[in-house]
């Protein structure tokens, strides 16, 4: 056990890592003369070195071709969003025509709920997790109100257990209890505060058996876990690309619509870019949606915003989600082992110990309460070790497998030990 707490072990483990070479494909933030130990890829992923070239390619095309850039070359803007479809589908386990990069996460959630949240007097309710990321709760509550129902009774929040976690038993019990009233189950792929991961296929099965539509917010799951969205049978999903997909602050988000809804009479907010591509420029008055997720688009996509995502997806394609997941489990396992062996008197791990129930994140509480936790968090940042803080008392440490290392993990553990011993 002691040997794991050495530079030699970390160096040898990193040397044997087949994905270690990808670290050089990112701009690592600096802390003085050294690189920062960056564990915030679950909040904002680092910039791929290829992102600048992709953006400059768009700028050059705009400079040299102006409006003709919409129609010329392999990266023409008219079909630019489709350049991402195959790679994005591979990341989320979907068919290419089931995914689309568009809008922002919460905007996508609202737009898809237009079609997939169809409440009635008998089935007005939405089931979600208590303590969800605020934007999800705001969106769901506003949708319930918009349809004339009361969030006090029709927004059902499943409470976690005493350990702060949910587990499938609690989710199944809630669906069983409220199923007769549910119009929609909206659940995260990974709970943002605790890092708890969920079985999307089982939640979908339970929700459908109760007669509800099932959708997912995958903000903390996309690029983190090997998802199988098509096979999960989920009706829809939304996510952002600025976390594990490393596409920049406020990056264009993503959405999934299952193939069985490729052609649907569900209502939607329609826009020109969702119209059938073959007849879009005939400028007709009647909306004819493109089959699949493309038909949920409203306006032409922001090409400059999509460009960095192309650079990131190239790296995901090269690395492969199975290899990334394997390294993620190794890094979080190493972090967990060191915490339990070296810092058990300082830190409690909130995230499930079962690796199948967590992603690339350990959520930690400092023994001694919020004040001590905040003091540790600020000390770490002041010494070049950056995690993030989530109220009321959680420090999240996320070793992203594309660019984090065993040496980074060891640096974090040593920094906490130094703070404890000071």
Pairing of strands 362-366, 385-386: unpaired
Supply the pLDDT for residue 224. Answer: 98
Tokens standing for residue 283: 């400028």
Question: What is the CATH code of the structural domain delimited by 54-317?
Answer: 3.40.640.10
**Token code pair at residue 422:** 């000071």
Neighbours of 406 (CB within 10 A): 25
Domain ranges of the chain: 2-47+320-421, 54-317
- Nearest-angstrom CA–CA distance, 401 and 331: 8
Q: Give me the long-range contacts of 143-147 (CB less than 8 A, separation at least 24).
A: 143/110, 143/113, 143/117, 144/119, 147/117, 147/119
User: Which residues lie below 8 Å from residue 200, measured CB to CB, with a gap of 6+?
Assistant: 189, 216, 227, 228, 229, 232, 234
Three-state secondary-structure class, residue 361: coil
Asked if 199 and 207 count as a contact pair (C-beta separation under 8 A), the reply is no
Taking alpha carbons only, the member of 88, 56, 78, 104 closest to residue 307 is 56
Residues 6+ apart with CB under 8 A from 32: 384
Regions in the chain scoring below 70 on pLDDT: 1-2
What sign has the CA pseudo-torsion 100, 101, 105, 111?
A: negative
**The pTM is what?**
0.96
Q: Which fold has domain 2-47+320-421?
A: 3.90.1150
Eight-state DSSP code of residue 392: T
Give which of 106, 79, 100 is closest to 261, Cα–Cα: 100
> What is the structure's pLDDT at 2?
52
């Amino acid at each position: 056990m002691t040997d794991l707490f050495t530079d030699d072990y970390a160096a040898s483990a990193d040397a044997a890592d087949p994905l270690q070479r990808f670290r050089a494909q990112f701009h690592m933030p600096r802390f003085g003369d050294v690189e920062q130990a960056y564990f915030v890829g679950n909040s904002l992923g680092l910039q791929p070195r290829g992102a600048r070239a992709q953006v400059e390619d768009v700028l050059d095309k705009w400079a040299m071709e102006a409006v003709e850039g919409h129609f010329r070359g392999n990266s023409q803007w008219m079909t630019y969003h489709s350049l991402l479809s195959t790679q994005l589908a591979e990341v989320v386990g979907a068919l290419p025509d089931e995914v689309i990069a568009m809008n922002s996460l919460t905007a996508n959630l609202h737009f898809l709920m237009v079609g997939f949240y169809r409440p009635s007097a008998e089935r007005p309710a939405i089931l979600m997790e208590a303590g969800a990321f605020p934007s999800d709760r705001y969106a769901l509550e506003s949708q319930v109100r918009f349809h004339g129902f009361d969030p006090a009774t029709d927004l059902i929040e499943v409470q976690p257990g005493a350990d702060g976690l949910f587990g499938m038993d609690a989710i199944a019990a809630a669906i069983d209890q409220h199923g007769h009233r549910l119009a929609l189950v909206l659940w995260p792929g990974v709970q943002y505060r605790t890092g708890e991961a969920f079985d999307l296929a089982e939640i979908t099965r339970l929700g459908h058996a109760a007669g509800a539509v099932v959708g997912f917010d995958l903000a903390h799951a996309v690029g983190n876990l090997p998802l199988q969205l098509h096979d999960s049978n989920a009706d829809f999903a939304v996510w952002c690309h600025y976390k594990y997909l490393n596409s920049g602050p406020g990056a264009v988000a993503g959405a999934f619509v299952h193939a069985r809804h490729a052609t649907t009479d569900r209502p939607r907010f329609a826009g020109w870019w969702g119209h059938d591509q073959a007849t879009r420029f005939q400028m007709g008055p009647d909306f004819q949606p493109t089959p699949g997720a493309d038909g949920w688009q409203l306006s032409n996509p922001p090409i400059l915003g999509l460009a960095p995502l192309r650079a990131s997806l190239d790296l995901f394609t090269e690395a492969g989600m199975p290899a990334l997941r394997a390294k993620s489990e190794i890094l979080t396992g190493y972090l967990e082992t060191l915490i339990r062996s070296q810092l058990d008197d300082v830190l409690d791990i909130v995230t499930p110990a079962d690796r199948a129930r967590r992603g690339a994140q350990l959520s930690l509480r400092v023994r001694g309460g919020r004040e001590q936790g905040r003091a540790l968090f600020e000390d770490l940042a002041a010494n070049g070790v950056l995690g993030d803080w989530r109220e009321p008392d959680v420090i999240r440490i996320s070793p992203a497998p594309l660019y984090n290392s065993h040496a980074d993990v060891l640096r974090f553990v040593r920094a906490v030990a130094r703070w404890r011993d000071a």
